[in-house]
Amino acid sequence: MSAQTEATRQDLAGVDTVTQAGTTPDTEQPWGALGLKVDEYANIKEILGRRPTSAELAMYSVMWSEHCSYKSSKVHFSLWGENTTDAMREKLLVGIGENAGVVDIGDGWAVTFKIESHNHPSYVEPHQGAATGVGGIVRDIMSMGARPIAVMDALRFGNLRHPDTLRVLPGIVAGVGGYGNCLGLPNIGGEVVFDDCYQGNPLVNALCVGAMRIEDIHLASARGVGNKVVLFGAKTGGDGIGGVSVLASETFSATGGGPTKRPAVQVGDPFAEKVLIECCLDLYAAHVVAGIQDLGGAGLSCATSELASNGDGGMAVELDLVPLRDASLRPEEILMSESQERMMAIVEPAKLEAFLAITTRWDVEATVIGEVTDGEHLVITWHGETIVDVPPRSVAHDGPVYDRPLGRPAYLDGLVADTTADLERPVTGEELRATLLTMLASPNLCDTSWVTDQYDRYVMGNTALAMPDDAGVVRVDEETGRGVAISTDCNGRFAKLDPYTGAQAALAEAYRNVSTAGAAPLAVTDCLNFGSPEDPGVMWQFRESIRGIAEGCKTLGIPVTGGNVSFYNQTGDVAIHPTPVIGVLGVMEDVSVRTPSGFSVDGSRLYLLGDTRDELDGSEWAHVAHGHLGGVPPVVDLEHEMRLSAVLQQGAREGWFDAAHDLSEGGLAQVLAEAVLRNGIGARVGLERLVLKGVDPFTALFSESTGRVLVAVTPGSEDEFLAAVPDSVSVTELGLTDTDVDGLVVVAGPDASFGIDHATLRRTHKATLPGIFGP
């Protein structure tokens, strides 16, 4: 017997074929260990008319997981369609259901963007979990035919001083920075939030944006009988097996379930992905790709079933042709592996030679592993033996759908009644000064440059704004300067108090942030992070959040283009705050006409746009000063946000603004401190006009009322600016930037005035994270 024949014989030993499955119905299978429920396993047998093979069971287990199938959430997705008007669809080129949404930004340019979670892997193995989260979202953007042009990250951790945060945070930050930096993609913004509710369940939400000409959009479908199925990129290894079914679709145990799941975490190679990006772009330019899909969650199971399901026929795949890093992998392991830096393309036979010439030039391994057939099934063989024979749609799209019970959580009754009205508040100037400094040093308001300095935000040379500005701005068209602004936002405390209003507050803040840069908001992506869907209270929070986003987007006239749902973010029975992270993308005709958030011109007049109310429930002040969470979140007025956005866009175009900064966590006090610190330009601020409106100095400084922006109007532009602001947007003059002022001076009457010099502001703001993690 030849060595090759003996190797094949050993490969087939114990392989579960379709024929065997049809004759051995009573064979016990580990469906429970793979995350399937008893009724789901029964459903698979009904679909196939027999028991599944071990390879088929592996495919159904990963594709029917919560992470891939959205089986607990998809029943609520009708809210997107119900609230998307024809006018909202005008700029929407590709919507929900593809790898990423695509919008028309003008001049023949299209932009694709999406945010996704990599939460559970990042707790188990922080560096690789976060790194492969970046890699995965970048490949989603690549698969649409676009060049990735920027990334962002929205991170949430537990208590800053908890030992496990000291383990998790440095690794996650290094993973995000290391992978993105090696790809040569600027990281232009995001969030870093600390709250005890994320202890044991950190959130790593990664966003990527890419640009292409409209005619270059690609979709994930396998069409054309005889077209070849080409797997290209990295070899398949044993990493990430069961990542979506076992790791991302279950809760961690209260005793610490993370380390036992380590084999499920993927391992990334950013340099291989960088080569893959350039290779894909050359393939697109040569017009040799008929369909394409990245291999992320569920690996080959996902790529083969989704491409076949979206096509017009069947697909035949020879699994033994898949290049392997580990020759000992069994067929079901190959199908489940989530090894990174892999893509699958559908290629016409006449274009195959040209396709392979390009992959060879880039030294990217490419292998024909199958072809599109005129059948209706996805058929996968292993050394000639059929191990998978399934209707592809049953794997990719027709999985179980659960309309889980909803119930308003009982905790809300007591929480909503427990307002901040009776909490002790600072009154004197000295007390207000001390409060501002305490807030400025607190985990969620302190300087985050310890984190963001690990990211390259200017690589590629197209970044116009980046953190700590309100929005990231990146140029798309070098010739005209056309570009996009992006912001991600969410206040989980607001969503805990009222998920509908909290979700709309996140939407409004992200919308406002891109507006402060001068962009016209155009589209939304979301990453919905929640606890267990098996808890009726969590499902109620989820439904209310979706309803808030969908109805809010309809009011604002911008569509949801896609996103991600991440359930099971809890340890034992303790869930995170509902955290619907919202990403808003806006368009700028010329990114050179953008508004930063820090003061840079002496003598600019400061105005507060919007109304300040006694809205401190769920605020950062309540959290920091009193450890308090209760009451109701601030009122959200989306019609007002639209009027405010129009003023901010016009101000940027006309050059009225030296700076614009949205008011959110920490209120006006935080914005003033950040603005004077940015470029060392001092400011003298008077609160008298707010006091005359019935707003006391403390509320004026620390309220978190929505719909407010501080603008610094350049000298000589005041009259033109004031004439343009509609009567429906309140304007309050606050003071002036002044290079003769050292830091910030706040005037609020004889008993409530105070000043803080630049050195004290800077030292206080910058010391917190280096004090924990080192310089």
Active-site residue list: 67, 118
E strand map for 667-730 = 683-686, 709-713
Residue 680 makes CB contacts below 8 A (sequence gap 6+) with 758
Residue among 36, 450, 460, 447 nearest 249 (CA): 36
Is residue 30 exposed (0-12), middle (13-18) or buried (19+ Cβ within 10 Å)? exposed
Provide the residue type at 440 as one letter: L
How far is Cα 502 from Cα 484, in angstroms, rounded to an integer? 26
- Where does 112-162 have alpha helices with state H? 119-124, 126-142
Buried/exposed 122-156: b ≥16 CB within 10 Å, e otherwise: bbbbbbbbbbbbbbbbbbbbbbbbbbbbbbbbbbb
Q: How far apart are the first and last CA of the chain?
A: 64
Residue 136 makes CB contacts below 8 A (sequence gap 6+) with 116, 118, 206, 294, 296, 297, 340
CA contacts within 13 A on the Cβ side of 144: 30
How far is Cα 449 from Cα 434, in angstroms, rounded to an integer? 23
For residue 262, what are its two tokens?
């380590």
Provide the residue type at 675 as one letter: A
For residue 83, what are its two tokens?
């609230």
Residues facing residue 314 across a β-bridge: 373
How far is Cα 675 from Cα 17, in angstroms, rounded to an integer? 66
How far is Cα 470 from Cα 115, in angstroms, rounded to an integer? 18
Residue 39: CB atoms within 10 Å: 9
Q: Which residue has the tokens 């029943």?
A: 75
How far is Cα 624 from Cα 119, in angstroms, rounded to an integer? 26
Provide the residue type at 160 as one letter: L
CA dihedral 61, 64, 68, 69 (to 10 degrees): 180
Residue 254 makes CB contacts below 8 A (sequence gap 6+) with 571, 572, 573, 574
